[in-house]
Chain A
């Protein structure tokens, strides 16, 4: 009983700042900006933004896959290290997260721009300036940089918990190093992979700041469009409809992924 009481403040908080706003979003999404009457126009209008939706999803998938490919070996190495080294390496991974997200993205601007650090350096060798910024690659790179720790964290936790005797058992039953990985370590780290993918994909697909700073008009993402509906176009109804559709899309992709991995019974963090 007491435990339930302790969760009350958060439940109130959640009701006020998650449930109620969500209802407001739904209300706005299905009402006209001019008359306030019920309408499906906002939802139907979204069809014209399909390319932007697809682009956002494409970038997010690319960033998530790169994070997985970069993050898995790192998580594996950290999990295998001695306890002292583990703490140090884990701290290194977490360190960028102590810095403001905005600042980190701005740092990438000064790194990649035509007069930035990299192009300056290359200039000394007579190369460039290379078009490092204002393109899709820069946006995806910015996402990978910002969200990589969210991939490594769950992977590290899951890999670390794999019982070493299972690896010995696999070796005992004839597995070489590669087979130990593919037959035991990888399948057992699937819950971490699912949770890492979710934790990277969800913020990546809805991001707006990264694409604004590192991208161009041809790399506009759905997050940017939603932001502009509220701040520039003064059409919160359309913005709300977009948010709602995006949310449904995210839920759908998480659902598909969990079903695909058969992870329903595992402890998976679904955001």
Chain B
């Protein structure tokens, strides 16, 4: 399970003098579901295309089962890809699309028939054998693309934002479906997405990328609960990111108050970034709170309310199921496990401030591709 299958060492990629990947090191284990997560332009698709053999890295090496495969063309790799826009062959029907790789491999007819039929069953497309692929819906085309890749029993399946074109409902179904198929077949999945929720739902490990660098590698829980820097904290979920000073192990000062936390290993009086997730903040009556602030905006989100609270000029996002009217004075309490301390990074001060909260949400709604999906 934890055996290393693919290893990328010091991988760099330049396009027209622009650095897309910068000294990337990554080990991918056999049979794991690994997600490359990051905003557009972070280098995640480039990494995937290098693994697939469609791009040659400017420098650095790709190892597969311990063998260097930089110069192995795509058709000789035990890797199959589900392309972003599916790339189904329009001149072939569903059956022939799925059978394509097996026919190229010159398998016996009965074997092809058996495997294609079985695969179409797995992706719930039995009975669609002789339909034209152009007559299928997006979700169905998606499943043909997955079947076409998996029928070859690859060691690794690469998926490049495969659910991007589907509507939300279908996307959720396909997420479960993909995870189920991955576990049933025991194949390594390398999944590229910009959707943090998708990454958290499906992955064994998540690689958060930005500007050609890996920002953090970890399990979904690690990434969410213990983000390594302000970028990760902001990209995965909502975060209030504050300046703090580490007074001693397990003791951090924010806004002149000192709090007990669970973090240690920092220098004495080291300036740090402090992440407080909006759902971890307890609202109490003003007189009982450590900090008191004024509610400046309330948005109903279904399960909870997003409220923006002004604490002496710095605005926090708090998620609560209790309605608080605008203008209300409230107090807050912070439990030690609500506070996460991170080292200062280049991303400090550029994320986690909700002073321009409403603008940010407007931008999200204007963004048709959901490139900055954050919930």
Binding site for B on A (CB under 8 A): 163, 165-166, 168-176, 179, 183-184, 187-188, 190
Contacts and interface: CB of A to CB of B under 8 A. Distances in A.
B93 to A, nearest CB: 12
B74 A172 contact: yes
Nearest to A186: B91
Contacts of B101: 173-174
Contacts of A166: 87, 89
Interface residues of B, number: 24
Nearest to A262: B91
Contact of A179 (B52, B89, B104, B148): B104
A165 B83 contact: yes
Contact of A183 (B52, B54, B85, B100): B100
A168 B105 contact: no
Contact of B83 (A168, A174, A187, A190): A168
Contact of A173 (B54, B73, B90, B100): B100
Given A165-B85, A166-B87, A172 B104 contact: no
A165 B87 contact: yes
Contacts of B79: 172
Contact of A171 (B73, B89, B105, B152): B73
19 contacts: A163-B87, A165-B87, A168-B81, A168-B83, A169-B87, A170-B89, A171-B54, A171-B75, A173-B75, A173-B80, A173-B100, A173-B148, A173-B149, A174-B105, A174-B152, A175-B104, A184-B89, A188-B89, A190-B91
Interface of A is mostly: helix
Given A168-B87, A175-B75, A184-B89, 13 more contacts: A165-B83, A165-B84, A168-B54, A170-B89, A171-B54, A171-B74, A171-B75, A172-B80, A172-B81, A173-B101, A173-B104, A174-B152, A179-B104
Nearest to A176: B75
B45 to A, nearest CB: 12
Contacts of B83: 165, 168-169
A169 B148 CA distance: 10
Nearest to B103: A183
Nearest to A164: B87
A190 B91 CA distance: 10
B106 to A, nearest CB: 10
A170 B74 CA distance: 9
Contacts of A165: 83-85, 87
Given A163-B87, A173-B152, A188-B90, A168 B104 contact: no
Contacts of A163: 85, 87
Contacts of A176: 73, 75
A174 B104 CA distance: 6
Nearest to A188: B91
B89 A172 contact: no
Contact of A172 (B75, B84, B88, B105): B75
Interface in B86-110: 87-91, 100-101, 104-105
Contacts of B149: 172-173
Contacts of B91: 187-188, 190
Contacts of B84: 165
A179 B104 CA distance: 8
B178 to A, nearest CB: 18
Contacts of A168: 54, 74, 81, 83, 87
Contacts of B148: 173
B149 to A, nearest CB: 8
Interface in B180-218: none
B75 A169 contact: no
Contact of B81 (A169, A183, A187): A169
Interface string B140-162: 00000000110010000000000
A222 B360 CA distance: 76
A254 B90 CA distance: 24
Nearest to A190: B91
Contacts of A183: 100, 104
A110 B63 CA distance: 64
Interface string B49-89: 00011100000000000000000011100011101110111
A187 to B, nearest CB: 5
